[in-house]
């Protein structure tokens, strides 16, 4: 197949992002306009505001992505967008723009699963990475352990039964009075805290399942904060951050490496916003070294939401025969592999 110039659009949550890729692994531009400072005032993403801000900026970001890639609309061979999961109004902005471009230029349209995009961020970061591998996808809304058998062939082995890993970071940060999103704040403070200061539960559920559960841990941390406040004790925020973070990461690491061992696989590929966590990467690399497992993760900018990862996933969808028509819908609750 000839080179494909792909314009990719991501608007599932609070980042308006547009990228231009050549095939599945070469980024020509990846513009990310974050709405975080606006939503921070409210302590989380306000869906209605997110849609409006996407609408206001999408055309400018498309133009900027083309300009940076030194391209014109006529140079494009394909357009991709996130079809879900995400906020319905936010997704609609990206999908409508992608449809308009597909129609006007008469080029193929590919709607991408956002979570598959997160996995594909690793193909951009590691040119040599090929499936099969075990994927740990940890974002604000989802937590998955996956057997990635091939491009486009995913088997979910474990998922969260309640809160996602990133969601638990955000909720605990909020209870501690830290700003949104909580992950980076906790990551930073945990560095100066003592991870063994407070014994929070590690919810492994039972050893047979690879599912996760983080709501019990969240409750334990919230109870600890309330009890200390009631006793009039001053809370050591850095110690709470470090102890909470360690409890989340111990479970993620234990399950990931147990699965690698069970499947006799040698590659662990971490992705999603929580993959930006410095301690998670440090722990994964340490255990990986001990057990002869290579650990892959993207650069910070490719961990959190961006359109380049959507372009990469679209490429592998397209070369495997997937393509959408102009009646493509948005799927706010899309599961990985759908």
Cβ contacts of residue 192 below 8 Å, gap of 6+?
238
Distance CA 193, CA 297 (A): 25
Compute the least distance from the CB of residue 100 to Zn ion, in Å. 24
Query: Please, is 146 exposed, middle or buried when counting C-beta atoms within 10 Å of its C-beta (0-12, 13-18, 19+)?
Result: buried
User: Does residue number 305 form part of the binding site for Zn ion (CB under 5 A)?
Assistant: yes
141 contributes a contact to ligand KG4 by CB under 6 A:
yes
- Is residue 84 packed enough to be buried (19+ CB in 10 Å), middle (13-18) or exposed (0-12)? buried
Q: Which of 94, 166, 193, 288 binds ligand KG4 (CB under 6 A)?
A: 166
Cβ nearer to Zn ion, comparing 113 with 139: 139
Q: How far is the CB of 1 from ligand KG4 (least distance, A)?
A: 30
Closer Cβ to Zn ion, 24 or 86, answer by number: 86
Q: Are strands 294-296 and 267-271 parallel, antiparallel or unpaired?
A: parallel
Q: Which residues ranging from 173 to 232 are in contact with ligand KG4 (CB under 6 A)?
A: 181-184, 187
**Residues numbered 114-153 forming contacts with Zn ion, rule: CB under 5 A:** 139
Question: Total number of residues binding Zn ion (CB under 5 A)?
Answer: 2
Binding mask 243-272 for Zn ion (x = CB under 5 A): ------------------------------
Residue nearer to Zn ion on the CB measure, 13 or 173: 13
Specify the residue, 187 or 305, whose C-beta has the smaller distance to Zn ion: 305
Closest approach, Cβ 59 to ligand KG4, in A, equals 23
Name which of 65 and 189 has its Cβ closer to ligand KG4. Answer: 189
The site partner of 184 among ligand KG4, Zn ion, none (C-beta below 5 to 8 Å per kind) is: ligand KG4
Output the six-digit token pair for 237.
């925020």
**CA–CA distance, 15 with 2 (Å, rounded to integer):** 31
Burial 252-284 (b: 16+ CB within 10 A, else e): bbebbbebbeeeeeebbbbbbbbbbbebbbebb
For residue 336, the minimal CB distance to Zn ion (Å) is 12
277 interacts with, out of Zn ion, ligand KG4, none, CB within 5 to 8 A per kind: ligand KG4
Rounded least distance, CB 35 to ligand KG4, Å = 12
Binding-site size for ligand KG4 (CB under 6 A) equals 19
Identity of the residue, 66 or 169, whose beta carbon is nearer to ligand KG4 in the bound complex: 169
Between CA 33 and CA 30 the distance in angstroms is 10
CA distances from 284 to 4, 141, 160, 210, 289 (A): 35, 22, 20, 17, 8
Closest approach, Cβ 36 to ligand KG4, in A, equals 10
Tokens 């110690």 -> residue: 239
Q: Give the one residue of 13, 81, 112, 237 binding ligand KG4; rule: CB under 6 A.
A: 13
Residue 116 C-beta: closest distance to ligand KG4, Å? 12
Alpha carbon 184 to its chain centroid, in Å, reads: 14
Binding site for ligand KG4 (CB under 6 A): 13, 139-141, 166, 169-170, 181-184, 187, 272-274, 276-277, 304-305
């Amino acid at each position: 197949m000839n080179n494909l110039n792909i314009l990719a659009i991501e608007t599932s949550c609070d980042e308006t992002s547009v990228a231009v890729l050549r095939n599945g692994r070469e980024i020509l531009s990846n513009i990310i306009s974050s709405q975080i400072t606006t939503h921070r005032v409210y302590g989380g993403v306000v869906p209605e505001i997110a849609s409006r801000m996407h609408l206001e900026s999408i055309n400018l970001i498309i133009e900027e992505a083309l300009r940076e890639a030194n391209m014109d609309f006529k140079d494009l061979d394909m357009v991709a967008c996130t079809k879900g999961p995400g906020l319905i109004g936010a997704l609609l902005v990206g999908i409508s723009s992608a449809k308009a471009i597909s129609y006007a230029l008469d080029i193929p349209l590919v709607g991408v699963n956002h979570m598959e995009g997160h996995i594909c961020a690793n193909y951009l970061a590691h040119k040599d990475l090929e499936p099969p591998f075990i994927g740990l996808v940890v974002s604000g809304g989802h937590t998955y352990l996956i057997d990635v058998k091939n491009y486009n062939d995913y088997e979910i082995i474990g998922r969260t039964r309640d809160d996602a890993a990133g969601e638990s970071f955000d909720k605990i940060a909020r209870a501690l009075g830290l700003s949104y999103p909580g992950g980076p704040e906790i990551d930073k403070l945990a560095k100066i805290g003592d991870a063994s200061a407070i014994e929070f539960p590690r919810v492994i559920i039972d050893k047979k399942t690879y599912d996760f559960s983080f709501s019990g841990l969240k409750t334990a941390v919230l109870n600890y904060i309330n009890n200390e406040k009631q006793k009039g004790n001053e809370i050591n925020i850095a110690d709470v951050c470090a102890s909470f973070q360690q409890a989340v990461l111990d479970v993620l690491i234990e399950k990931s490496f147990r699965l690698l061992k069970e499947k006799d696989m040698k590659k662990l590929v971490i992705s999603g916003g929580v993959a930006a966590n410095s301690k998670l990467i440090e722990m994964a690399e340490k255990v990986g070294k001990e057990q002869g497992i290579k650990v892959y993760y993207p650069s910070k900018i490719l961990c959190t939401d961006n359109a380049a990862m959507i372009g990469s996933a679209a490429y592998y969808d397209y070369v495997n025969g997937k393509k959408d028509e102009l009646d493509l819908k948005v799927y706010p609750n899309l599961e990985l592999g759908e």
